Structure 1
Amino acid sequence: MAGGVGARAGHIAGIDGLRALAVLAVVVFHLDARWLPGGFVGVDVFFVISGFVVAHSVAGVRARSFGAYCAGFYRRRFLRILPALYVYVLVVALAGVLLLPTAEVTRFVELTGAAAVFGLSNVALLWKAGDYFAAASDYNSFTQTWSLGVEEHYYLLFPAVSWWLMRRPQGGRARWWGIGAVGLACAVSLGAAWWFTQHWRAFAFFLLPARLWELGIGMLLRWLGERVVVRGGAWWSGVALAALLLSFGVTREDAFPWPGALLPCVATVVLLAVLWRGGGGWLARVLGVGVLRWVGAISYSLYLWHWGVVVLMRWTVGLDTLALKALAVGLMLALGGASYRWVEVPLRRDRRLMGLETPAFFAGFAVVAVVVAAACVGLLYAKPWIGLAASNDAAVWNPAFVPAAGACAVARGTVDFGSGWRVTYRPACAAAGARRLFVVGDSHAGAYALLLHEVAARGMPVDLYTAGGCRVIDVDDAVLPPGCAAFRARALAEVRAAARSGDVVFLPGLYTPLYRTLWDGAALRDAGEARIAESEARLRAVLGRGVTVIVEAPKPVMPTALFRCADWFNRGSGYCRPGWHVPRAEAEARRRRPLAALVAIRRDLPGVRLWDPLPVLCGARFCDGYRDGKPIYYDAHHLSAAGNRLLVPAFLGVLGR
């Protein structure tokens, strides 16, 4: 090979079949987690295989210098991984811009794709999604590329370590020092996996420090096992294969990666040892079946494309029936096979690419990477114009849409505020000593952004404090998100310090039990008396300043999120089947208990007023998600821009009174 690198070590029969088991486990898990609850550990199996195979591929390499060795190693890694990734990112980013709705959960999809081009999607996902099993990850077309980021970070370390081991004679002390250092790094990484699983699970999942041991034990097997003969291979094969298959079924998300990754990784090491040094036996024959070998050969491309198919179908036709799942499998295999046949293989064997001088080779890849990443960012900004989803129309859907400046200009400012945000609306037309409106609440307070802008445009300064899931009044058993208690206390303290007699405090929030969450979660139960008493104490402290407190009565909610069901290509999915047409009597019944709790609080605290949006949002017989062809709701319970406009007159009337 160019750069002085010689031929790689021979192929080991059965490893393609092992790859096939790993990728099929991941595919089945993503199709329906109920079928294979621990199938996600297939990625850990890949890590161990990769650690072994990459070390095996350089075992026979001869290079004239460390620089030449690195150049040859990275040439092969680039050609193996990047072309298929670039094609996937470009195609799926374009499809996503066309089909995915504009939503909080899709805001960073294209940016994740751009990060994946540079091996940083795992860092981006840690920063934005915070959890592989979160909704923001489940509906991101590039979530699966986190594992490529881990491997690529490992490749930054591998050449130096492998060069050291290759240059030392078998059995020499220096070689053993190197192997010992790798073993120590694996032990430290295993400890990191244990610690971070307890204290910061997303870090343990997404980043190399807690995953290095998985790749490292595969590498150690290759460097330690050259003179080892595995005896009793048939017995070890059966035990290890049974353990691996068991891990696919029983590994729990809440105990992962520690200790959940331990069993599949150890089992994979044993299987690799049998295939390499134990003669393979029946295991090699089983894993060498033609179908498994083919799936193993295309496993990388299949791994890339299977997730794109899953996410795009979730956003469009759905994956709720067996027929749709079968269609998904067919698309995955077709796209994975096509990528392998026409992208992976030709470019890995292209003599012109291999013949390029080292600077030209890597400069070419750098240019392509920048172009692909720039295309992702460009598509993100072009989405309002080229996207097909109705929710791209911000003036109708986005509750934070800022209307054109009217007679009174409003200056809007946003600053971090603990776990939430503080947003100020300062009207140029405000009179000296004008009354102020303070708004404190959960995401429903933030979803009144357009309404609050309209209030400010009439000369009333507004201060908004909002943090997701963090209401001032507790009427159910919802678990407060991290930082909520501190956010609530700090926000109310600022309101008490700034408010004067005559000012108004508005406390919106989600009180009506949901049919289901946006991602199909369960509803909540009523809060106990202690939490309601704490809520009353918070209100008393504000009322002591001589202000009026307006509490929002429970709004009606929809059975489906409208932005997920607003287009011809997603309206027929199983998720959208319940629709957005609720009998008013049903809406009244769903909010009866939280409304009774708020009425009791109002009775105990005479300074509290209750404002009920339901008569405006609902007709005499039905509460509908649309009115005059425009969505009242953005999702199942937050109002859209059109819904905000609908409530402006009613809310201004309340402030006037």
Structure 2
Amino acid sequence: MSLSKTKSQRLALNPQALHQAALIQYRPGIDGLRAVAVISVIVFHINPSYLAGGFLGVDIFFVISGYLITLLLAKDIANTGRLNLVDFYRRRIQRIFPALLFMLVATLLVGYFMLVPKDYAALSKSALWSLFSAANIYFFSSIDTGYFATGSEELPLLHLWSLGIEEQFYILWPFIVWLLVKWVKSTTSRLVIVSVVLVASLLSAQLFLHSHQSFTYYMLPTRAWELMAGGLVALMVFANIGLNKQCSQVAAGLGAVGIALSLALVSKNDDVPGLAAIPVVLGSALVLMSGDKTFIGRFLSLKPIVAIGLVSYSAYLWHWPILAFLRYALVKVDVPIMAGVMVATFTMASLSYFCVEQPLRKRKTSQKNIFVWYFSVPVVMIATLSVLMIHLISVKNPALYDWKSYRAVNADTRAAFAYDFNCQYDDFSVGALTLAGCVFPEGRRPTVLLVGDSHAAHYLGMLRVFAQRYGFTLRNATQSACPLLLDAGKLNWINKKYTHGCAIYRDAVKSELSKYDTVIMGGTWNTYDQSGKKAFRLKLKDTVSILSGQVKNVIILANIPIISDYNKECQIRSVKMPHLQCEKRHLRHGKTAPINRYLSGLSKTYPNVHYFDIRDQLCKDDTCSPYFNDIPVYFNSTHLTMAGSQGIGEKMLKDNDPGLSIFEKIGRVPQQAN
């Protein structure tokens, strides 16, 4: 970037000002690095299998932001001797808010026509929090991470968590930079102070990563070190600490390798933002430190790459809502759709950049007008609209939605865990084996025990129907993600979140077996079979042997057909989007699962062990559907709803299904059907 003669002469009279001006000289390589970050993020969000570590693009953005803002702050403080917060936040508002507000308004408008009430209320809340740079706090406190948690890929504003972290960081960071530049004269001391705080943030991220995963991912204290890494480089450049030509080439090369390997090899299951994020953060810092004259710097400065980097902020804003709305409409993001997403993203990004972001950023206006018209007025208007919509939805305003249809469909698609009589636990409570509410019909001594995980619990609707019909009393006590494998020792292959409860559960059930005549067991057999491999089948066989020797009857519940592309929300969303044609979307072709064939064979080994499968109710030949009598009976791809389970049971009784003979056998008072 060349300086005009007048400006050059003016700066020549002030060597310090000339030095500071050079520090913030435009570097196209930084926009090139932004391009790498945004493309990585978009590709990952389209399909993680394309680029496992693409989500680390956000971490690259953090390092770049920390570098540029710290350099700018240090320059201002050195030139003026003071911290001008008003001007600093004026620049932040002018840079961030026009494009953000444009995207928010468009997203709220599209969401109004697509989203069902609960989802639009959630969108309005997230928009409200985003306006005040607190989206990360909202999503940390609101996203469900439980066993049956739905995916977050349909939340249109989820990506704004990163902006929340940045803006919260810049509430405190200017004061720290001011203290460092103004009062800490030693460059070494400045770098040591920042490094100590950086390491503390990194260690806290690693320490709490597994015990407080959501907090670690979404909140500032455990993300600050990534921004500070960029700030550390900025303070070094500010102090005129640089690398010679050879060292710059090596540093840039190492940085590029660190970034590339991280994007390719790190996955969302690794320790991010902990130790696994160090290579990409360090790599980004090295690329920034080495400048644009290296081979890597010249590559990143190529015009096509820089062009992407220039619109990277707007592209980041737009790509996620586009993907979220597509997925909400149950569109499968395959290769052709991926190309469309890319085109749509960069079309909207260019429109936002050239028509909104740049004109308003460059427009000469007073600080007062910027705070009023760029921030206060639009924020108040959007916030008011969001609050109004949240209120109208909460009071079920009839102008917004067909509430009668919504209630009817929502009742049909409730999961088994939503019912109090389903005693299913994430961390098992031994009380489930004594609570009266876990028995049906209540008030009688239970003779039948239902055990297993959620794939046992979702049979509860039909088992209650059978109990009522055949006169047996049923207790249910299940533990999420826990196979009932007795005397199996530690199970290293089950979800660690449920390991503790699973161990308690298996011991508790074993001690209670003598109280029951019949044990009905269900499980995510297919998943356990894949995770536990041959050892699982051996342990399952041992467990069945133990049970058959201790109780009169054992009933093994089969896995229902897996319908991988099923989404229970389709029926609810079809009230607003009738074109979804839910009944036609989820047919599949497939044969009986291998694990079910194994279970059927295993049951024939013992005279008192029986196999129960409802496949014939859900499938005709090899075509299966999550709809039963035109009503959705699946909660997700592998679980029944409680209403669906009950409906299937009632239909089996009406048809005198031969598979019910075992339940008639264990009944105490067989009755005739009405």
Query: Common fold, TM-score beyond 0.5?
Result: yes
Structure 1, residues 470-492: CA drift from partner, whole Å, max 9, x if none? 24359x99932235454345456
Shift of 1:212: 2.5
CA distance in 1, matches of 2:202, 2:427: 33
Shift of 1:185: 0.9
Query: Corresponding residue for 1:150?
Result: 165
Superposed CA offset, 1:144-163 (max 9, x none): 33322332332232022012
Q: 1:439-458, aligned counterparts within 5 Å? A: 439-448=450-459, 451=462
Distance 1:231 1:317, change over 3 A: same
Match of 1:271 among 287, 304, 308: 287
Alpha-carbon distance between aligned partners in 1 of 2:114 and 2:542, rounded to the nearest angstrom: 45
Q: Select 1:397's aligned residue among 404, 408, 413.
A: 413
Structure 2 distance, partners of 1:420, 1:316, is 39
Gapped regions of structure 2 (runs ≥ 5): 1-16, 654-659
1:301 counterpart letter in structure 2: S
Which residue is 2:3 aligned to? none
Q: Structure 1 unaligned runs (5+)?
A: 1-5, 403-409, 515-520
How far apart are the structure 1 equivalents of 2:554 and 2:307? 67
Q: Which amino acid aligns with 1:302?
A: A
Summarize the Cα distance change of 1:79–1:469 in structure 2 as closer, same or farther, 3 Å threshold: farther
Provide the rounded CA distance (Å) in 1 between the counterparts of 2:420 and 2:151: 31
CA change 1:309–1:395 in 2 (3 A) is same
- Asked if 1:246 is matched to 2:246, the reply is no
Deviations 1:351-378 (A, max 9, x none): 7783159899987687467547647856
1:631 — aligned with what?
Answer: 632
Query: CA separation in 2, counterparts of 1:37 and 1:588?
Result: 30
Q: Which residue does the alignment assign to 1:487?
A: 501
Match 1:580 to one of 587, 598, 619: 587
CA change 1:348–1:378 in 2 (3 A) is farther
Aligned twin of 2:340: 327
2:66 is the alignment partner of 1:51: yes
Q: 1:400 to 1:532 in 2, by over 3 A?
A: closer
Give the Å deviation of 1:48.
Answer: 1.1
Tell me which of 580, 595, 598 is aligned to 2:600: 595
Query: In structure 1, the residue corresponding to 2:637 is in which secondary structure?
Result: coil
Deviation at 1:186, TM superposition (A): 1.5
Cα-to-partner distance string for 1:548-599 (whole Å, 9 max, x where unaligned): 66442343333542547766899799xx99952446xx23766211222344
Q: Which residue pairs with 2:224 in the alignment?
A: 212
Task: Identify which range, 289-298 or 182-191, moves more after superposition.
Answer: 289-298
Amino acid at match of 1:508: G
Amino acid at match of 2:427: G
- Which amino acid in structure 1 is aligned with residue 279 of structure 2? L
CA-CA distance at 1:216 after TM superposition: 1.1
Other-structure match for 1:406: none
Aligned partners of 2:81, 2:250: CA distance in 1, in Å?
38
Of 510, 522, 527 in structure 1, the residue corresponding to residue 524 of structure 2 is: 510
SS of the residue aligned with 1:555? coil
Residue 149 and residue 535 in structure 1: after superposition, are their counterparts in 2 closer, same or farther (change >3 A)? farther
User: What is the aligned counterpart of 1:162 among 177, 201, 204?
Assistant: 177
Which of 5, 9, 17 is matched with 2:32 structurally? 17
- Per-residue CA deviations over 1:43-93 (Å, capped at 9, x if unaligned) read 222111100111122234369999983444334334433454455455446
Tell whether 2:323 aligns with 1:310. Answer: yes
Q: Indicate the residue corresponding to 1:222 in structure 2.
A: 234
Cα offset, 1:303, TM superposition: 0.9
- CA contact 1:90–1:375 (8 Å) conserved in 2: no
What is aligned with 2:8? none
- Residue 40 of structure 1 and its aligned partner are, at CA, apart by 2.8
The CA distance in 1 between the partners of 2:642 and 2:441, in whole Å, is 24
Q: 1:365 to 1:272 in 2, by over 3 A?
A: same
1:229 and 1:483 mapped to 2: Cα distance?
47
Task: Name the counterpart of 1:69.
Answer: 84
Q: CA deviation at 1:41?
A: 2.5
- Offset of 1:23 from its aligned partner? 1.2
Superposition pairs of residues 198-597 of structure 1, within 5 angstroms: 204-226=216-238, 227-232=240-245, 235-236=249-250, 239-240=253-254, 242-243=256-257, 246-247=260-261, 249-253=263-267, 254-257=269-272, 258-275=274-291, 280=293, 286-316=299-329, 318=331, 321-345=334-358, 348=361, 354-355=367-368, 367=380, 370-371=383-384, 374=387, 386=401, 393-400=409-416, 418=427, 432-433=443-444, 435=446, 439-448=450-459, 451=462, 464-472=476-484, 479-482=493-496, 484-488=498-502, 490-491=504-505, 506-511=520-525, 525=533, 527-528=535-536, 530-532=538-540, 535-536=543-544, 539=547, 550-558=555-563, 560-561=565-566, 563=568, 579-582=586-589, 586-587=591-592, 591-597=596-602
- Provide closer, same or farther for how the CA distance between residues 159 and 463 of structure 1 changes in structure 2, counting only shifts above 3 A: farther
| Alpha carbons 2:318, 2:345 under 8 Å: kept | yes
Query: How far, CA to CA, are the matches of 2:564 and 2:587 in structure 1?
Result: 6
Question: What is the deviation of 1:135?
Answer: 7.8
| AA of the residue aligned to 1:214 | E
The corresponding residue for 1:646 is: 647
What is the CA–CA distance in structure 2 between the aligned matches of 1:427 and 1:266, rounded to whole Å? 54
**Which deviates further from its counterpart, 156-165 or 78-87?**
78-87
Whichever residue aligns with residue 261 of structure 2, its letter is S
Whole-Å separation in 2 of the counterparts to 1:281 and 1:529 = 58
Task: Identify if the C-alpha distance between structure 1 residues 214 and 558 changes in structure 2 by more than 3 Å, giving closer, same or farther.
Answer: closer
8 Å Cα contact 2:448-2:474 kept in structure 1: yes
Letter in 1 for 2:324: V
Cα distance in 1 for partners of 2:474, 2:135 equals 38
SS at match of 1:58: helix
| Equivalent pair of 1:101/1:391 in contact (CA under 8 Å) | no
Report SS of the residue matched to 2:561: coil
* Match of residue 656 from structure 2: none
Structure 1 residue 304 displacement after superposition = 1.9
Q: With structure 2 as the length reference, what TM-score do the two structures score? A: 0.72
Matches within 5 A, 1:75-94: 75-89=90-104, 91-92=106-107
Counterpart amino acid of 2:314?
S
Q: Distance in 1 between matches of 2:402 and 2:226?
A: 41
Are residues 21 and 163 of structure 1, via their aligned partners in 2, closer, same or farther at CA, if it must alter by over 3 Å?
same
CA distance in 1 between partners of 2:650 and 2:385 (Å):
48
What is the CA distance between 1:394 and its match in structure 2?
Answer: 1.7
Give 2:338's aligned amino acid: K
Q: Which deviates more from structure 2 when the two are superposed, residues 612-621 or residues 160-169?
A: 612-621
Aligned with 1:587: secondary structure?
A: coil
Of residues 89-98 and 25-34 in structure 1, the stretch that sits farther from structure 2 once superposed is 89-98
Greater mean alpha carbon deviation, residues 629-638 or residues 119-128: 119-128
The Cα shift of 1:210 comes to 3.8
Equivalence for 2:614 = 613
Offset of residue 329 of structure 1: 0.5
Residues 296 and 631 (structure 1 numbering): CA distance in 2 closer, same or farther, change over 3 Å? same
Question: Secondary structure, in 3 states, of the residue corresponding to 1:136?
Answer: coil
| Residues 299 and 511 of structure 1: CA distance in aligned 2, closer, same or farther (over 3 Å) | same
Question: Does 2:194 align with 1:187?
Answer: no
Contact persistence 1:93–1:379 (CA under 8 A): no
Taking a change above 3 Å as real, the CA distance of residues 430 and 532 of structure 1, as seen in their structure-2 partners, is closer
SS at match of 2:68: helix
Query: Which deviates more from structure 2 when the two are superposed, residues 79-88 or residues 157-166?
Result: 79-88
Given that 2:254 and 2:283 are in contact with CA atoms closer than 8 Å, whether structure 1 keeps it comes out as yes
Query: Residues of 2 paired with 1:240 and 1:13: CA distance?
Result: 20
> With structure 1 as the length reference, what TM-score do the two structures score?
0.74
| Cα deviation 1:582-621 (Å, max 9, x = unaligned) | 46xx237662112223444xx27x4x65443334444477
